Amino acid sequence: MPELPEVETVRMALVPALNDRFVTTAFVGRSDLRWPLPDRLADRLVGRRFGMPSRRGKFLLLPLDAGETMLLHLGMSGSVRIHDNAPQLATHDHFMLEMAPEQESGKPSFVVFNDPRRFGWIDLFQCDVHPMLQAMGPEPLGNEFSEAYLTAALSNRTGPIKTALLNQQIVAGIGNIYACEALFYAGISPRRKAGTIAGKRAQRLAAAIIKVLRAAIAEGGTSLRDHVQPGGEIGYFVQKLAVYGRAGEACNQCGAPIRMISQSGRSTFFCSHCQR
């Protein structure tokens, strides 16, 4: 499910639930997610205080006291729910935190992590940057990301641009939906060799990536299948998708049917008339 806009939506919802609040209880259901959960995770969290949640690419970084940080990746099917009453745990609820009552409302918060496919990932780390995040490319909504950066990062790459956009070392946070959408708005074929993206094309692509991610965040992300925001609301960006999931339907710009192809084992949706 979750690409940058969905993870950002989760991050924003976690701020009031976690920031400057203490863990009362921690629950671990299954500990065999993508990788085994850290040893004694629940014990190590009780009594700790969280700081301000941040995000890097599709990773959530939840700082604790004593310089430690909890890392959370939602994988393909992970989601977070936040309740102010003790929830009935459901199938695939693998992890839960109960946070001490907030001063103003006097209410606790319950943060639940659910992940049917268990591609999600939870870790605790002490260093400044988690080893797995060392090589990650710049944030597309940050200052380092630009036409010039994109041109340099893509130069000499012979694979298709669509595949390059999914590479987190080139740009952080883009997944299958927004790679397709950004290429549509940039008018670039997903099959074009990445190394040929420069000048005007790089300018259009950088702008399209920023535009589509910002728009999706503003709509609360894209809800496909069972994905919802932490409060249970759905994200409305799904209604604005121009190509993703629309194989055979008419292109909004030219009316030609949207095509679906497979690239590196992932589905790609595009308009072969508008994208060159």
Partner DNA sequence: AGAAGGCCCTGCGTGC
Partner DNA sequence: TGCACGCAGGGCCTTC
Among all residues, which ones are annotated catalytic?
A: 2-3, 58, 266
Residue 94's contacts (CB-CB under 8 Å, 6 or more residues apart) are: 28, 29, 30, 31, 33, 113, 114, 115, 118, 120
58 touching DNA, by CB under 7 A: yes
At residue 79, the 3 state secondary structure works out as strand
| Residues 110-139 as x/- pattern, contact with DNA by CB under 7 A | ------xxxx------------x-------
273 touching DNA, by CB under 7 A: no
| Residues 92-111 as x/- pattern, contact with DNA by CB under 7 A | x-------------------
- Sign for the CA dihedral angle at 230, 236, 237, 243 comes to positive
In this structure, what token pair is assigned to residue 128?
């400044």
163 touching DNA, by CB under 7 A: yes
User: What value does the CA radius of gyration of the chain take, rounded to a whole number of Å?
Assistant: 20
Task: Say if residues 111 and 82 touch (Cβ distance below 8 Å).
Answer: yes
Shortest spacing between CB 159 and DNA, in angstroms: 3
User: Exactly one of 71, 99, 124, 177 binds DNA (CB under 7 A); which one?
Assistant: 177
Q: What angle do CA 72, 221, 68 make, to 5 degrees?
A: 20
264 touching DNA, by CB under 7 A: yes
16 touching DNA, by CB under 7 A: no
Question: Footprint of DNA on this chain (CB under 7 A)?
Answer: 1-3, 6, 34, 57-59, 73, 75-77, 91-92, 116-119, 132, 156-160, 163-164, 166, 168, 175-177, 194-195, 221-227, 264-267
